[in-house]
Amino acid sequence: MKIRDISRMAWEQVKRRKVVTGLCMTGISIGCAAIIVALSVGQSAQVYVTDQVNANFKMDEITVSPGGGLPTNGKSGGGGSGEVNENLDPGKLTDQKLKIIQGLNHVKAASPFHQAGYLQMVTIDNKISDVQVVVADLQKLTAYDHKFKQGGANGQLGSIVLNHGATLGLIDLETRQKLFDQMSADPFNQELYQQYDKMATVPTELYRKQVQIQAQDYSSTSPVFKLSSPLQISGILALPKGMDELRSSYEKIMYVSPETAQQLSKELAFDNSTTSVLTLPPEGSYNSITVKVDDVANIKPVEQMIQKLSLNAQDNLFQQEMLKEQFDMIKMAALGIGVFILIIASISIIVAMTMSTHQRRRQIGIMKVLGANMGQIRNMFITEAALLGLLGGMLGVAFSYLIVMGLNKLVGSAGDGMNFFIPAMNLPVGISFAIMTGVLSGIYPAISASRTDALTAIKRD
């Protein structure tokens, strides 16, 4: 018999025994769907978590800080003039090294993002809010995935940029203090906390408006305040993707240029205070800079070049490696569950095929009398089992899509931003396991059928 004849006879048997075919297909389809869905859920979760990690840790960024060196506070033969000899401080992060880093291959941007401290921002109508002052190159904000909702950055002295959260929750000092007093007096009143959350998300139009920074001298026995000169808001950043208004209201940032930061430090200095209200590095040097790389694959080469400048460089790739290890374990566990279900399904195929062999022993005997050899009969049964596996696998693919649709509706109703999907590469994996299960399950019945004695089978029936 030719392969075509063997396939046709196997297909006829599959069509004729509808109940047995249906039961075998159902078992295989459940196992196949379990493998596809389990792998897909693991990969979907990995993509979602990786996106969240990228949004928070920025895999394509490197944090550069001063490296090791031999700093000195005076010249070698002097009596301590207080000057720093940069030749003996090779790890210092200076303007010159910043320019070198900006010129490296694969570097999209390099800029300081120095957290100078928390101060109070006051509007012209006396609304107040606590903001974090971050010193950065305002012209390079867009290179770090920041998008402007209004306006943009300019190089003028006294020009600032606010993030979205800094425009939320600005209230007058009296109302703010009154609410804080009520919350202190009744800390378990949920209505007060809901009222506070509602007020914290009320937006204020600040684009092209002027604000001032207010500082307080906490070393003084009586409250002493100082106001900076007016600052012009040249741009407002858009709300980051995946962040809601309430979460954004807890992250209020004012971006200022290094020149504006130096001006604020001088204006807000108290005569009797030994410390500045803003924590700034010495002029011409930096405590850290953030380097944006064009591709994650180029992180390590850029890191090595930065370290040659006697600087420390740290990336967030270890987060990605940790996630990969965890999700590889999840995928293996999911694959094990699917394989276990397929093993259970293979038992049903073995039983069904063995019963089929017993019921078809007269047909097998006639085929042997007509010249069919053991290999042809064995191949016919294995082909039949493979067809059952293929049909079960195709049905399993359909089941897996229905299951994923249901999961997406369930997750969507819960308000989570996660989206389940089935990668194309998972489909042949599931179908291959289904066919392999069918073939392996059909080996014993096929061997048993091929050993049937022709004359005995014909006489018995």
Please tell me the predicted confidence (pLDDT) of residue 381: 78
Chain length of the chain: 461
Please tell me the predicted confidence (pLDDT) of residue 279: 86
Single-letter residue type at 4: R
Residues 118, 127: Cα–Cα separation, whole Å: 17
* CB within 8 Å of 67: residues ≥ 6 apart: 90, 91, 307, 309, 310, 311, 312
The helix (run of H) or strand (run of E) holding residue 172 is strand 171-172
| Residue corresponding to tokens 């720093």 | 84
Q: Is residue 28 within 8 Å of 389, Cβ to Cβ?
A: yes
Residues 393, 432: Cα–Cα separation, whole Å: 8
Residues 320, 236: Cα–Cα separation, whole Å: 32
Please tell me the predicted confidence (pLDDT) of residue 73: 44
Instruction: Return the number of other C-beta atoms located less than 10 Å from residue 275's C-beta.
Output: 10
Residue 51 class from Cβ within 10 Å (0-12 exposed, 13-18 middle, 19+ buried)?
Answer: middle
Q: Of 348, 146, 323, nearest to 251 (Cα)? A: 146
Residue 48 class from Cβ within 10 Å (0-12 exposed, 13-18 middle, 19+ buried)?
Answer: middle
Where do the DSSP E strands lie in 265-358?
289-293, 311-314
- What angle (nearest 5°) sits at the alpha carbon of residue 78, between those of residues 73 and 79? 75
Instruction: Return the number of other C-beta atoms located less than 10 Å from residue 289's C-beta.
Output: 24
Please tell me the predicted confidence (pLDDT) of residue 78: 40
Residues 372, 449: Cα–Cα separation, whole Å: 12
Tokens, residue 118 = 């928390």
Tokens, residue 356 = 């089929």
Cα 177 to Cα 129, 183, 184: the distances in Å are 12, 10, 10
Half-sphere exposure of residue 455: CA atoms within 13 angstroms, side-chain side: 0
Residues 428, 272: Cα–Cα separation, whole Å: 75
DSSP-derived letter for residue 369 is H
Residues 132, 170: Cα–Cα separation, whole Å: 14
Q: Of 397, 280, 361, nearest to 39 (Cα)? A: 397
Residue 26 class from Cβ within 10 Å (0-12 exposed, 13-18 middle, 19+ buried)?
Answer: middle
Where do the DSSP E strands lie in 248-293?
253-256, 289-293
Residues 213, 264: Cα–Cα separation, whole Å: 8
Q: Is residue 211 within 8 Å of 121, Cβ to Cβ?
A: yes
Residues 222, 217: Cα–Cα separation, whole Å: 9
The pTM (predicted TM-score) of the whole model is: 0.63
Q: For the chain, state the CA radius of gyration.
A: 36
Please tell me the predicted confidence (pLDDT) of residue 89: 64
Please tell me the predicted confidence (pLDDT) of residue 22: 79
Instruction: Return the number of other C-beta atoms located less than 10 Å from residue 349's C-beta.
Output: 28
Cα 25 to Cα 10, 32, 207, 348, 350: the distances in Å are 15, 10, 65, 10, 13
Report phi then psi at 136, rounded to 5: -155, 170
Residues 394, 40: Cα–Cα separation, whole Å: 16
Tokens, residue 52 = 């969240």
Residues 317, 353: Cα–Cα separation, whole Å: 52
* CB within 8 Å of 423: residues ≥ 6 apart: 39, 40, 43
Q: Of 258, 292, 315, nearest to 101 (Cα)? A: 292
Q: Is residue 15 within 8 Å of 392, Cβ to Cβ?
A: no
Where the chain has pLDDT below 70, the residues are: 1-3, 5-6, 54-56, 68-89, 272-275, 320, 356-361, 413-417, 449, 452-461
Report phi then psi at 73, rounded to 5: -100, 10
Please tell me the predicted confidence (pLDDT) of residue 281: 85
